[in-house]
Structure formats: structure tokens, C-alpha cells
Amino acid sequence: MQFQRFSREEYLKLPDKPGVYKFLNVDGTIIYVGKAKSLRKRASSYFTKTNLENRKTYRLVSEIKNIEFVIVSSEFDALLLENNLIKENQPRYNILLKDDKSFPSICITSERFPRIFSTRQIDHSKGEYYGPYTSVKAMNGVLDLIRKIHKIRTCKYNLSEENIQKKKFKVCLEYHIGNCLGPCEGLQNEADYLEDIEEAKKILKGKVGIVSKSYKEKMHTAATDLKYELAQSFKVKLDLLEKFQTRSLIVNQKITSTDVFSMTQSESQKSIFINYMRIENGAIVNSETLEVRKKIEENDLEVFRFTIFDLRKKYGSSNQFILTNTEVEPWEGVEVSVPKIGDKKKLIELSFKNALYYKKERLSQKSTQPNETILQYLKEDLKLPELPVHIECFDNSNIQGTNPVASMVCFKNGKPSKSNYRKFNIKTVIGPDDFASMKEVVGRRYAHLKNEGIKYPNLVVIDGGKGQLSSACDALKELGIYGEIPIIGIAKRLEEIYFPEDDIPIYISKKSTSLKLLQRLRDEAHRFAITFHRQKRSKASVQSALDSIPGIGETTREKLMREFGSVKRLKQSSVKDLVKLVGKARADHILKAIKKGDL
């Protein structure tokens, strides 16, 4: 089974931010939803593994045709949004979270003498909800903490004024062990009880400064008195409070069914970028970002308004409240507002962040479109079958055969694609043989592409004359792909361009932009190879110098090479750093060698 491979360059387009990614198939259907602390690293992991974990993952990857993502503020928000999107879209390859089970919340009931308890069922008619929370342990810990700080009842009695006066209830065990003050028998008045409820609300809202300060003081006092177990118990409570302070925009019970829209304009004023988030019952269940092309004479706000209609229709939204980042003329049955503060403002900021990132990505894609003029000239000058949007150039570097290396640089759309650069250590050639070295690295490079089924470049450039070009062609012949990839050699002296099996070079005008592109490729490959060669030579010199020091073995030598890389940096290091790295005895040997001039 063959599946689409996304290039490393495409991975790098994903943001290194927390969020949720959606894999779509050829029909545009969401087939998998996942969360990530880093969208770039997580999504790319599906395509970089040589051996996929199981047949299910392999099948999933084979169906992926597009990736969409939503940026959020934290990994915690990503977890909640993943849960929402899976329940809304029921993706084929998501097994977990498909049921109707949701993360728990805390409810403070609206009855007389309110109760506080955890629940997974949200019914706003019954009270005020806080959450949801991904850590049940932390939630239960804070519930327990609230009940220890404040005397909150746990019974389900209807404590109406009439029932209490008739003495329908008796105090229970909770009263006798000090966890409740007995409002069921009128032993605690409603005003005092409600004060405790207000304090509990402050903790649930994250306003725990006073409580935290109190526990910190008690923790330090207990530690001073050597009561370490007691101090640890206070520390655990503090940790639980800190975990519970985390608030989410992704699920917010105070914001019910609402549509959120934000827009930003392109510099050319030819497009606007719009993000849409649909909120149902306090949870984000849909999100989409798109570019809308417009005519110069069209008004941005009118286009934005019509797009709002279209997106609401597409997702079947009938929400009466719309939040936007700019004033939009409302219509009948809908209330449009631009929030200035609070959680609604933060929702707009989150939506706008997604619109801005999409705009940046789209403009980046446009800026990397082929420079048609230069590439067209190059195609015509070299008589290439197609536009050379992907070019690879090879060069060798060594000094009298020592530390031989090679480099490959890649240009896409006429610009360096540094994520696709490659370094090669020469493995099979002994001595200064540039021809054999070139054959080895070209063979290794295109054997890899052939085995992996990766598309070949539109043009291969060899830094050198007929000899190097001939060696590169031999490598392609051995792989059975000679003739499938256009290949040329460029000699430095007169900038001659050599073609395979042609002794007579061609000369491109020195003023030609296509020649300048080839020169830039050649110079970049040379720079990259020289840099790699210097690094390798520097490490080799450190290694040979360390060989003469007694007590320094291979393991220690490798540690020093990784840490310092050169003799100069090793000499400049402090005694403390050296001792920390290799120990006092070995550090003494090295310092003695430096003092004697042996290093």
C-alpha cells in the first residue's frame, strides 16, 4: 500500500505550539483528531517513522490527504478541544472519547443552602458549574480541601425554611465529626452558610491567594518544627490548588451557544483571512480558518458579513450570539458584539491568533511560488523537460584525502531549502579521489530516494567538470535511473556547463540570471561542504591530541569532543566545568598536559 509522504519542509509549516490537528481524507472528511504540545513535532511523527506501529496506523497514514489544525493556549486546552471535536465529528480512526462521557465539572447548586459536588452532566437550571477538569484526582482533592476549610453540607435534603421549622431532619454523622454545622436543624443560619459558599467560589475561580498564603505559612511553620509529614500534607494541598487554578477557554460554562468570528486583511488588500469557532453548551465544537478573495472595490466588512452567513449555514449554526473582533452590522434575530474584557475577549484573541497564523502561512506559500522568470530561463538554457523547481547540487571537500566529506544542497523554487541540505561522510574511498567520492554520495542519495519512493529533483548539479559528472552518471546507471533525472556539471574556471556524454561544454551569458542561480547553488554547496569538513577536522585534531594524555580513554575522549569540539575551547574551559564533566583525576591529567604544552 502506498501512502502520501509529507516533506520535512511541509512539517516545518506547522506551528511549534500546542493545539489540535485534524487528518482529512480525499473527500475532505475528518478521519482522525489528535492533540499535541507541539503540532509540528506530533503531526510530523506520523510520516517520519520508517516502521509504522501497527496496521491501523499504517492504514490511517495511507488515507491522509490534508492536515488542518487549531492553535490553542495550552496543552490543557488542547486536551479539551480534542475531546469536543471527536465527539462532534466521530472520526473513523479515533476509538477513545467517542462516547458521550465528558470531563467532570464542579456544580454549586442554586437551592437554599447550596451543595457542592462533582458531575459529568451539565444542567444550568440546577446551578453554577466550574470546569471541566482533566485531573479527577486534583478536582477531588480541592473538593476535599473546600470541605475542610468551609463547612459545606453533603446531604440532599430539601432545606426549605418550612422544613427546618417543622424539624423534619436530624443532624447526621457529618455534624458530629465536625464537617457540617447542622443547617438542617437550624444550627447554622443561611447568611453564614452563604459566606462559606462565596469563599468556595473564589477558590474555584482561581482566587486562592489568601488560602495559598495561609497554607504556605503553615507549611513553613511545620517544617521549622521538624514536622515534615504535616508540612508535606500542606504542600500537597498547595499543589492541588495550583492545578485547580488552570482555566480553559475551550470549555467555559459561562459562555453558552455562541459563534466567534475574527478577520484580518492581507497587505495587498486582495484577501481577508477569517477564523470561525462554534460554541455549543460552553464548548468549542467546530473551527475553520479560510482565505476569502475579494475585488479591490469590495468593502472588507461586507465580505466579512457575507462570509459569516456562509459559515453559519455550512455548520448549521442557529446561535443568537456572535462575537467578532470588528464591528459588523447585525441582522434580525442575532446579537453581534465586540467584547473588550473577560473570557469573551480572550476567545476573540484565540480566534484572531488562528486567523493571523493562517494568513502568515498562506503568504509564505505564495512567496515560495516558483520564480517563473528565472526558472523559465534556466529551463530554456539547459533544454530541460520541465521547470526546475527542485534542484540538488553536490560538492566534495578534503585536504590530501584526510577527513573526506561531501555535501548536497537543495533549492526549491529558486531559493535555498536548508531543511533538505545533507552532509555525507565518505565511507568507501581511501585517499584523495574526488571522482570516486562523488560516485559514492550521488549513489547513496538517489538509492535512498528510490527505496523510499520519494520524487526525484527536476535537476542535479555536480560541482566539477567532465570527470565528476561522469562519476555521478555511473552511480545513476548502477541504480537503473540514468536518464530519469536531468544532470549537469559546472566547472569553476570558465563556468562551463557539461552535459552527460558530451565533450563540448556550453557557455551561458555571464549576465544571465539562470547562470547566477547555478553559481549560487555551486557556491552554497561549496560553503556547506567546507564548513562540514572544518568541523570534522577540528574534532579529529582534538581526538588525536587527547590520545597522548594518559588516563584518557575512548569514552572520556568522546565526552570531551561532544562538549568542547576543539582544543581551543577545551583550554578555555574552567577547572570546575572540567571536573564536573570527567572527574577530578582525569581533569588533573588534562590540566597537566595543557601546562606542559602537550595539548
**CATH class (in words) of the domain with range 548-596:** mainly alpha
Position 182, amino acid: G
DSSP letters, 466-478, are HHHHHHHHHHHHH
Q: How many residues in the chain?
A: 599
How far apart (Å, rounded) are the C-alpha atoms in residues 83 and 106?
A: 18
Q: Which three cell numbers stand for residue 492?
A: 569553476
Distance CA 412, CA 389 (A): 5
Domain boundaries 8-89, corresponding CATH code: 3.40.1440.10
Q: In sequence order, what are the beta bridge partners of 350?
A: none
Q: Is 132 exposed, middle or buried (0-12, 13-18, 19+ CB in 10 A)?
A: buried
Q: Distance (Å, rounded) from C-alpha 323 to C-alpha 341?
A: 12
pLDDT at 262: 92
How does pLDDT run along the chain (599 residues), one tens digit per residue?
Answer: 333 444 445 555 677 888 888 888 888 888 888 888 888 888 777 766 544 556 777 778 778 888 888 888 777 677 777 777 777 778 887 776 555 566 788 899 999 999 998 888 878 888 888 767 666 766 776 787 777 777 888 898 899 888 888 888 888 888 888 888 889 988 888 888 898 888 788 777 656 566 677 778 888 999 999 888 888 877 876 776 665 554 555 555 567 788 999 999 876 677 889 999 888 766 777 888 888 887 767 788 888 888 998 898 888 888 889 999 988 888 888 889 998 888 788 888 888 988 888 888 777 665 555 566 788 888 888 888 888 999 999 988 765 545 677 888 999 888 888 888 888 887 877 767 778 888 898 999 999 998 888 899 999 999 888 888 999 999 999 999 988 899 999 887 678 898 998 888 888 877 788 888 888 888 888 888 888 767 665 555 444 556 667 777 767 777 777 777 666 677 777 778 788 887 888 888 778 777 766 65
Q: At what angle do helices 575-582 and 554-564 cross, to 10 degrees?
A: 140
The values of phi and psi at residue 443, to 5°, are: -65, -45
Domain boundaries, the chain: 8-89, 105-244, 258-367, 374-526, 548-596
Dist CA 514 CA 374 (whole Å): 6
Instruction: Specify whether the CB–CB gap between 329 and 269 falls below 8 A.
Output: no
Q: Is 459 exposed, middle or buried (0-12, 13-18, 19+ CB in 10 A)?
A: buried
DSSP class of 320: S
Residue 344 CB contacts under 8 Å (≥ 6 apart), including other chains: 255, 323, 337
- 169 Cβ partners below 8 Å, 6+ apart? 155, 157, 159, 163, 184, 185
| CA 566 to chain CA centroid, nearest Å | 34
Phi/psi of residue 225, nearest 5 degrees? -85, 10
Residue range 258-367 forms a domain whose CATH class is alpha beta
> Domain spanning 374-526: which CATH class is it, in words?
alpha beta
Would you state the torsion angle of the CA atoms of residues 102, 104, 105, 106, taken in this order, to the nearest 10 degrees? 150
Separation of alpha carbons 108 and 476, rounded Å: 73
Task: Note whether 8-89 and 548-596 share their fold.
Answer: no
* DSSP structure class, residue 489: E
